[in-house]
Structure 1
Amino acid sequence: MNVWEILRTEAPENLLSDGYSAVIIDGIYSVDYKRIAELKCDGLMSDARNKISEWRTELELDVISDEDKTRLTAWMKYIKELKALDFTDMVDEKCYSLIEWPIIPSDL
């Protein structure tokens, strides 16, 4: 196997883009869609955890409003749905495009 490293500025246009995991092995360009899905899921999970951090503290201190408790519950359900996603068989772009990402909760 041959592996080459090139600077981003020397790569053909649109070959490399932020957030993509791809390799070129023996001249064959392959995108790692499983890794892309995992990275997207991790990002969504991080955003969700940031969103609920204050509500969790308020819940622990028993000072959370009913409205925020409802929001927290919706976001926790969303996080649970993200955790349930399975990327084991993510082999190509078609599989990636068929992922049913959970709907981000509204702020009610």
Structure 2
Amino acid sequence: MASVKKVELGSDGLAAESGVMTVYSYDPETGLCTGASDEYLAQGVGIPANSTTNVPAACKSGKVCVFNDGEWVQVDDHRGETVYSTATLKPVEITLPGEYPEGTTPLKPATAFDVWSGKAWKTDVKAQQAAAVSDAVAKKSALIIEANSVTQAWQTQLLLSIITDVDRASLTRWMQYIQEVQATDESGAPDINWPEKPE
């Protein structure tokens, strides 16, 4: 089998004669090297789009080669890593090579109330406390609504003087429970000892 002639490009970027040339392809969006191939070039034809004859250097660990401004450069490769938005705390998966996106950090926030200080997450204790109090107020309201729905029939029976002694005792326990819930101070949230529901 005859060997195919290796060719070089002229100063105009075109093959001076027909033959094969090794080219290195790259992704047009990211510049990432996608591999090498031997391309047959007819006389007067240039190399395929998104390729170069420049040989990429072997990349160091944690780096990838990208073609940028006519040359291969090594950039950080964080693809597949998760970082966190310093504004929203939401996780962001890295899909492109390069530095971490601006406004992100690889440090995971410890709570939903963390604020980025520029170097580390700091928990906004006041916001955390305010949210806990708000949750406690909502829980208090839900417990009272639930207890009122349990006692509603008994209260009607009591008004009509048709309540049994057993139901009267249950109504009393539940009304005491409602009073205990109403007296619960939400300002100590999240450390609140809620009263136990009657059985």
Under a length normalisation based on structure 2, what TM-score does the superposition of the two structures give? 0.37
Tell me the SS of whatever aligns to 2:156. helix
**Superposition map of 1:37-56 within 5 A:** 37-56=136-155
**Alignment length, in residue pairs?**
84
Tell me the SS of whatever aligns to 2:186. coil
Under a length normalisation based on structure 1, what TM-score does the superposition of the two structures give? 0.65
Q: 1:82 aligns with which of 181, 185, 197?
A: 181
Q: Distance in 2 between matches of 1:58 and 1:46?
A: 19
Q: Where is the helix percentage greater, Structure 1 or Structure 2?
A: 1
Q: Distance in 1 between matches of 2:184 and 2:113?
A: 24
- Where structure 2 has 5 or more consecutive residues not aligned to the other structure, the ranges are 1-86, 92-111, 118-122
Q: Distance in 1 between matches of 2:183 and 2:154?
A: 23
| 1:87 Cα deviation after fit | 1.6
Root-mean-square deviation over aligned CA pairs: 2.7
Question: Which structure 1 residue ranges, 4+ long, deviate > 3 Å from structure 2?
Answer: 22-31
Q: Distance in 2 between matches of 1:36 and 1:81?
A: 18
**Superposition map of 1:22-101 within 5 A:** 30-31=127-128, 32-88=131-187, 90=188, 95-96=189-190, 98-101=191-194
Q: Which residue of 1 aligns with 2:15?
A: none
- Where structure 1 has 5 or more consecutive residues not aligned to the other structure, the ranges are 14-21
Q: Distance in 1 between matches of 2:142 and 2:154?
A: 20
The sequence identity of aligned pairs, in percent, is: 30
| Structure with bigger gyration radius | 2
Q: Where is the strand percentage greater, Structure 1 or Structure 2?
A: 2
| 1:25 Cα deviation after fit | 8.1
Q: Distance in 1 between matches of 2:90 and 2:116?
A: 17
Q: Distance in 1 between matches of 2:137 and 2:159?
A: 30
Using CA pairs under 8 Å that are at least 6 residues apart, name the structure with larger relative contact order, 1 or 2. 1
